């Protein structure tokens, strides 16, 4: 589903199963943010095809973090020329704890590959300039992506519409999550693109959402 020029949104809307939202940034270097669960990848693939993207067209994958519901389907790109990227701390976490972590969640650590690391700073994808922001708290090596050209924030599992990321999984840290959200709240965002649930549209709505999350949930985590 096209949200803006060169921005495609693939919401996960089923209540029967959990999966993440996925996003594609189009242009000269089509980039997929969070491919989701492996067994649900055919649904994403079908939705992307309706917008003209085959998996082989995806030149870059950005994983906002290495939780299975965001990361597992990376295995569908291992035989393609797609480059796969995530934060070094997210890679270290799955190297050191991935097998145990996935097993606790009832899954096996999937085959994966990391072609390069994303650290805080600028990232050019084709003609688009993005900013990688290290956003710890929900998961080790969590990152958000800020696209200043359209004032959009790909928020992963840091902040959602009227909610925030859980911190009870291994590597979660509620104090760090609050610091992260406080930091994100200072960005000028008119499109909040979370890893689950609906997008938040409009500068005022995004501001209200940050305010609501900080006042409603900070005392609870």
Nearer to Zn ion, 26 or 181 (CB): 181
Q: Token digits for 2?
A: 């096209």
Contacts of 94 (CB under 8 A, 6+ apart): 66, 71, 101, 109, 112
Residue with tokens 């200043």: 148
Position of tokens 């956003």?
Answer: 135
- Position of minimal CB gap to Zn ion: 67
Least distance to Zn ion, CB of residue 116, Å: 21
Judged by CB, which is closer to Zn ion: 55, or 68? 68
CB 178 within 8 A of CB 8: no
Question: What's the half-sphere exposure (Cβ side, CA atoms, 13 Å) at 50?
Answer: 10
User: Are β-strands 31-33 and 152-156 bridged in parallel, bridged antiparallel, or unpaired?
Assistant: unpaired
Which listed residue (37, 67, 87, 128) binds Zn ion by CB under 5 A?
67
Among 63, 157, 159, 172, binds Zn ion (CB under 5 A): 157
Q: Is 72 in the site for Zn ion (CB under 5 A)?
A: no
| Distance in angstroms (rounded) separating the CA atoms of residues 118 and 120 | 7
Q: What's the min distance (Å) between Cβ of 67 and Zn ion?
A: 3
Whose Cβ is closer to Zn ion: residue 21's or residue 53's? Answer: 21
Size of interface with Zn ion, in residues (CB under 5 A): 2
87 binds Zn ion (CB under 5 A): no
User: Which residues bind to Zn ion, rule: CB under 5 A?
Assistant: 67, 157
């Amino acid at each position: 589903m096209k949200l803006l020029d060169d921005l495609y949104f693939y919401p996960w809307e089923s209540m029967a199963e959990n999966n993440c939202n996925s996003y594609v940034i189009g242009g000269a270097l089509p980039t997929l943010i969070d491919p989701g669960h492996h067994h649900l990848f055919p649904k994403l693939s079908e939705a992307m095809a309706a917008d003209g993207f085959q998996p082989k067209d995806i030149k870059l994958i950005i994983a906002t973090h290495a939780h299975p519901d965001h990361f597992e389907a990376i295995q569908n790109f291992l035989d393609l020329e797609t480059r796969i990227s995530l934060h070094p701390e997210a890679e270290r976490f799955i190297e050191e704890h991935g097998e145990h972590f996935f097993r606790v969640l009832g899954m096996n650590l999937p085959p994966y590959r990391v072609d390069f690391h994303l650290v805080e700073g600028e990232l050019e994808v084709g003609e688009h300039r993005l900013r990688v922001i290290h956003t710890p708290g929900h998961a080790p090596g969590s990152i958000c992506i800020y696209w200043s050209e359209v004032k959009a924030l790909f928020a992963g599992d840091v902040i959602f519409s009227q909610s925030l990321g859980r911190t009870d999984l291994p590597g979660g840290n509620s104090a760090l999550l609050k610091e992260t959200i406080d930091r994100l709240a200072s960005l000028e965002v008119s499109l909040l693109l979370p890893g689950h649930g609906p997008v938040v549209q409009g500068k005022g709505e995004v501001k209200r959402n940050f305010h609501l999350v900080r006042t409603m949930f900070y005392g609870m985590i």
